Structure 1
């Protein structure tokens, strides 16, 4: 029989070794001054919006899936204590204190008491005012970067709380795969593993007109009575049926905010009609738009569809093929 007992002097020697190792590791961490964190876009596979609550937010249920399209956020320690700078090459109009990433830095400082200067670089690939969550994703990637750089780590719950303070859909970007969000969007849970596995890797075509849509405007035009799901129990049931395999992904896909978008922007309605009739596709608006998408069927020739979209909306639109994470 092997004797695994350790004499006290040996134990304290081992403890001292690990203490030294921990000190060395922390000193190495403190020497890291820059991290780069990808910020994925999202699409809403399902979105149903109920009545306004007392806090003036709508109660909702949504299934959010991340896609491979992403921004890149670089978080760097700066010398000037308490300073925050932000650079967004090609998008100078969002490089200011109103950017959600800057707001996240401010909330992180309040939560941790850390006053390190922070420089942010956001390299945008996700179009703005598109319903793809680019601003919220950038903010969450900023938070992840700050947590990686800091010796005072925030817990996952702490990060969820900070995310919810900055934006309703921020918490969803703390989960890698698809998730179900409720409340105003800040209450999240992972999609059941089998359902998530089935959708991961699906090809998606994203296409956005040259204009962006105001979320506030689209919500302002939304009529709750137009929803197929008048109460949250029916919304939950729809999602549960999909997760359990009783509904296909295509049957799940639905967006209450499509109604105000399609009523206001007739050019989207016309293109959707042609995509359905000519190609048997199921196009949707993501969130409040203006980006639209559809799941690309396996073996489907996407070339003629891309050409139709360019012919309909012009060559200056955003169009890219990506995959669900």
Structure 2
């Protein structure tokens, strides 16, 4: 009798997916003495994803594949590495982990790819190590790692305050469709904030000056109504003028997207990604095609929103 070889069982691994984001509105106050800027922002999670596969290891190891993988550090400056270290210390875990990052969100593009990595790493390690932390516990740890990390855990649409890490879920209807003009060159977030402060004569002092959150009432109404036309008119980013001063060429994809009939165009976060809102999925594809044809972006992708936050995709024992 001939026996059929049995494939070995896979080692214990956990795969987690976390989304990138677009800031529908980003309002920035004057910095406090600690250097942080009080923010009022409205996040929306988009269907561009980071995936992390976590497997047991003797030490904490990070490897990376995917678009722009060569730009991603694999040491303790990587947010996923830091997330695993923070969780291990908090939960008293002595074992290591191998985190393999599969990049799907632009690097240094203002879409929180690094924060999505951190959120995915938190959830993956929590599952792998069976630490049993609640979602609230994970959100608190996420806020220690980076301002955008809690939103990558939560996903959907949310209002952020403080450094952007204090979140309130936002009610929305329907689905929105985006074209993103991506650049291989990055923009330094500290430099963009520095240019913003210089333009407004800001000097860090006291607790900082919160921005006007009432200005986003029309945007919130547009989300609740599921009205892409009203949403397009309400998109806003206080950092956009500063980013354009640092990288004037970003005006080109903005102009092309507007000429292609985008309902609204906004820089995502501190840039350099330009987000253009379409009337529907097909229109977003047409806007993307116009940007591609004009040659004003290194890559162009489309995505829908809102989507869920970090989720376990698969796990093997």
After TM superposition, the score normalised by the length of structure 2 is 0.81
> Corresponding residue for 2:62?
86
Offset, 1:110: 1.1
Instruction: Check whether the contact 2:111–2:268 (CA below 8 A) recurs between aligned residues.
Output: yes
Contact 2:181 2:253 (8 Å CA) reproduced:
no
Alignment of 1:323 onto 2:297: no
Q: Please report how far the alpha carbon of residue 272 of structure 1 lies from its aligned counterpart in structure 2 after TM superposition.
A: 2.0
Q: Distance in 1 between matches of 2:266 and 2:158?
A: 18
1:49-68 pair list within 5 angstroms: 49-68=28-47
Deviates more, 1:68-77 or 1:150-159: 150-159
2: CA distance, partners of 1:119 / 1:255 = 37
Which secondary structure does the structure 1 equivalent of 2:251 belong to?
helix
C-alpha root-mean-square deviation of aligned residues, in Å?
2.7
Residue 233 of structure 1: CA displacement? 4.3
Shift of 1:253: 1.1
Distance 1:157-1:303 versus aligned 2 partners, 3 A rule: closer
> Which residue of the partner structure matches residue 121 of structure 2?
142
Q: TM-score normalised to the size of structure 1? A: 0.79
Counterpart secondary structure, 1:58: coil
Cα offset, 1:127, TM superposition: 1.4
2:251 alignment partner in structure 1: 269
Picking from 264, 271, 281, the partner of 1:282 is: 264
Partner of 2:53 in structure 1?
A: 74
- Pair 1:295 & 2:274 matched: no
Return closer, same or farther for 1:303/1:34 CA change in 2, 3 Å cut-off: closer
Specify whether residues 176 and 264 from structure 1 end up closer, same or farther in structure 2 by C-alpha distance, changes over 3 A only.
closer
Following TM superposition, by how much is the alpha carbon of 1:313 offset from its aligned partner in structure 2, in angstroms?
Answer: 3.5
Q: Which has the higher helix share?
A: 1
Q: Tell me the CA shift for residue 142 of structure 1.
A: 0.6
Say yes or no: does 1:211 pair with 2:185: yes
Task: Report which of the two structures shows the higher radius of gyration computed on alpha carbons.
Answer: 1
8 A Cα contact 1:38 1:141, kept in partner: yes
Q: Which has the higher strand share?
A: 2
Unaligned 5+ runs, structure 2: 1-9, 202-208, 308-317
Cα 1:290–1:178, aligned 2, differ >3 Å: closer, same or farther? Answer: same
How far 1:173 moved relative to its partner? 1.3
Q: What's the secondary structure of 2:65's corresponding residue? A: coil
Contact 1:60 1:182 in 2 (8 A): yes
Distance 1:236 1:299 in 2: 25
- Give SS of 2:133's match: coil
- 1:275–1:281 Cα contact (<8 Å) kept: no
For the residue of structure 1 that corresponds to 2:109, the secondary structure is coil
